[in-house]
Amino acid sequence: MLLAAGLWGAGFAWFCIDALNPVPPSIPCGGRCDGIVALTGGRDRIEASLALLARGAGRELLISGVDPHATLAQLTGRSPVSLTPELASRITLGRRAVSTIGNGVETATWATRNRIHSLIVVTAGYHIRRAMIELHRAAPTLALHPYPIRSPVSRRAPDRATLRLLLQEYMKWIGSHLGLSRGVNLTPKT
């Protein structure tokens, strides 16, 4: 029992360090992939994915898990990237996913429809490992390349809320490894 508790604690410490200090992302695929997916949950993710799209790191962008009432202008309003009509035409707002599992299903469907074979995955450093598991589970033939973002939670001194978030993510990550996250959470089509 003590050994299991020690392993769990060491794993959680590693997860916290890894999540709060993600490796600076590099653009994979020789500088260009077929597509980019941003998993919603923070503005920094959308801004980073728009910058990648504008740089030509991918030809299409899916913003997965968008609120049904949000507009592209609202999502990109604070971005330093100028949203030209050409750039906007390459962005898809995925409105069906309400969870990371749903992000995986939504991304797999979009990738198939758009003939995407390699994908840059943009999400927070604390979320990237679980997101990669769920996306791979939904689309096992898709080449996935992580692009972790330093979220605001990782830029401040850890507090009780940060530790609670990291603990929840750690337990979800373990659950993903154990196959405990098999359900699909998508909102009904409207």
Where are the chain's structural domains? 27-149+157-177
Measured CA to CA, the distance from residue 171 to residue 177 in angstroms comes to 10
Q: Is the pLDDT of residue 31 over 50?
A: yes
Measured CA distances, 117 to 33, 84, 181 (Å): 8, 26, 24
Q: Return the CA Rg of the chain.
A: 17
The reported pTM is 0.84
Measured CA to CA, the distance from residue 41 to residue 61 in angstroms comes to 16
Measured CA to CA, the distance from residue 51 to residue 128 in angstroms comes to 19
Q: Are the CB atoms for 134 and 100 separated by under 8 Å?
A: yes
CATH number of 27-149+157-177: 3.40.50.620
pLDDT band, residue 24 (cuts 50/70/90): low
For 34-63, the pLDDT digits (tens) are 999 999 877 689 999 999 999 999 999 999
pLDDT band, residue 151 (cuts 50/70/90): confident
For 83-126, the pLDDT digits (tens) are 889 999 999 999 999 999 999 999 999 999 999 999 999 999 88
